[in-house]
Structure 1
Amino acid sequence: MALVQCPVCNKRISSKAPQCPHCSTSSAGDNESALRIAQIKKSQRLMNQSFITMTLFIGGVVVLFWGGEEPEGVRLTAGAVLLTLGFVGYLVTRVQMVINKRKSV
């Protein structure tokens, strides 16, 4: 008996178990379709994260540059934080998407 990863939830289960106790996926069934479904779910989650981080970035640009006058104080800080979080988050998410896509091929 060895511990293996469930193809759907990636938790460790016994190789002798008829189904995963965490997500109830049958280990005797078609694991390829379960793996594909898990891959699609992860891809969707990453695309949602990408959308959220892009929204943060755009929000930072709007806060910093809306109105034409030089931002000061809280407006400057909030805009810079939103801009930075959005940009870095977007880059990290895009790298994760590329890695995820390479795993599926």
Structure 2
Amino acid sequence: MALTTCPICDKRISDKAKTCPHCQTALDGDLSSAQRIKQIEKSSRLMTHSFIAMTAFIAGVVVWFWGGEVASGPRAIIGGVLFAFGFVGYLVTRVRIILNKRKQL
């Protein structure tokens, strides 16, 4: 008996198991559709992360320049933090999306 990974949940299971004990997926049939669904769900999550990061970036710019002048005091700190986290988060998420697409090919 050897250990392999489940193609759906990526957890270690026995190679003789008929179903995965973690995700209850039947391992004797065609798993290509289940793997495709998993890839689509991951891509959807990454796009949601990208949207959240872009929203934080835009919120930072709005807070920084609200009222037509450059922010000062706590407003500048909040705007700068939102701007930085949104920008870095967006870049990291876009790299993850590219790597996920390469993995699909």
TM-score (norm 1): 0.95
1:24 counterpart letter in structure 2: Q
The aligned counterpart of 1:43 is: 43
Partner amino acid, structure 1, of 2:96: Q
Whole-angstrom distance in 1 between the partners of 2:70 and 2:30:
60
Give % identity: 62
State the shift of 1:70 in Å.
Answer: 2.6
Give per-residue Cα distances to partners, 1:4-39, cap 9 Å, x unaligned.
111111111111111111111111111111111110
Q: Secondary structure at the match of 2:4?
A: strand
> Where do residues 1-105 of structure 1 align in structure 2 (5 Å cutoff)?
1-105=1-105
What is the SS of the residue equivalent to 1:9? coil
Q: Figure out how many residues of one structure are paired with residues of the other and give that number.
A: 105
Q: Could you tell me which runs of 5 or more consecutive residues in structure 1 were left unpaired when the two chains were aligned.
A: none
Following superposition, the deviation at residue 69 of structure 1 comes to 2.2
Q: Extract unaligned runs of 5+ from structure 2.
A: none
Per the TM alignment, residue 91 of structure 1 is displaced from its structure 2 partner at its CA by 0.4
Q: Which runs of 4+ in 1 moved over 2 A?
A: none
TM-score of the superposed pair, with normalisation by structure 2: 0.95
Tell me how large the CA RMSD over aligned residues is: 0.9
One-letter code aligned to 1:21:
P
Q: Distance in 1 between matches of 2:33 and 2:27?
A: 12
SS in 1 for 2:86: helix
Distance across 2 between alignment mates of 1:27 and 1:44: 25
